[in-house]
Amino acid sequence: MTNTQDNFQELQWLLCPKCGKKTRLKLREDTELKNFPLYCPKCKEMTLVDVKNFDILKQTDLNESQYFSNGRKKNSPKKIETAEKN
């Protein structure tokens, strides 16, 4: 096949593995995701997914509060300044 748009890949919405609704993410067919924290605006939940060829190969529930409590992770240590390199 000779296509004038060889590099063009149609984008498809990545669907939520839980509710099947569209997420805010569009993927190419050759997009591969590994341990991607997929957020569904419908469920308001986050799922860790592996995606290949539009297929969700793996999904793991994430504890949302771990990621979104006050907008940052808990127990985030203060910057250690002794280990800076120049």
DSSP state of 68: H
Cβ proximity to Zn ion, 20 vs 71, nearer residue: 20
Q: Pick the binder of Zn ion from 9, 11, 13, 19 (CB under 5 A).
A: 19
Residue 41 CB, nearest distance to Zn ion (Å)?
Answer: 8
Alpha-carbon span 22 to 36, nearest angstrom: 16
Residues 24-43 that bind Zn ion (CB under 5 A): 40, 42-43
Q: Pick the binder of Zn ion from 18, 22, 52, 58 (CB under 5 A).
A: 18
Which residues have a Cβ under 8 Å from the Cβ of 48 and sit 6 or more positions away? 35, 36, 37, 38, 58, 59, 60, 61, 62
Q: Is 16 in the site for Zn ion (CB under 5 A)?
A: yes
Cβ proximity to Zn ion, 28 vs 42, nearer residue: 42
SS3 48: strand
Residue type, 82: T
What residues make contact with Zn ion under the rule CB under 5 A? 16, 18-19, 40, 42-43
